[in-house]
Amino acid sequence: MFLLASLVTFIIQDAYSLKDKRRVIKSMMAKVQQKFKVSVAEVSHNDMQNLAVLGFGIVSNADYQAQLVLDNIHDFIELHYPIEIVAVDWLESYERAKSYSG
């Protein structure tokens, strides 16, 4: 089992208030969850009006598949939202399945 997460730090252009920011973030999170079926959460800079960090997570049986999905998410949000990605940090874990007998 392969777990992969990316922490994407980005600037939201034209966000002049926290309300503007939350509107963009909520839309982005909903569309990404719907389209890519991954976990997503705002994980940092909650009180800054034009800076955000979203965490995206996926579990897969193949590392390349997880990497491809998260890369596609990064491309999707940059293409469809008024943002500029300034950093992407990766977290990964690999666990071999354990067999339990009762």
35-67 pLDDT, tens digit each: 999 999 999 988 999 999 999 999 999 889 999
pLDDT confidence of residue 27: 97
CB 50 within 8 A of CB 15: yes
In a domain, 96, yes or no: no
20-44 mean pLDDT: 97
24-36 mean pLDDT: 97
State the residue range of the domain holding 71: 2-91
Q: What percent of the chain has pLDDT over 90?
A: 84
Domain with 36 in it: what CATH number? 3.30.70.1120
In a domain, 100, yes or no: no
Q: What's the number of domains the chain is made of? A: 1
In a domain, 102, yes or no: no
pLDDT confidence of residue 1: 86
**Which residues have C-beta within 8 Å of that of residue 83, sequence separation ≥ 6?**
10, 11, 12, 13, 24, 77
Q: From 64, 83, 82, 91, select the one nearest 6 (Cα to Cα).
A: 91
pLDDT confidence of residue 101: 67
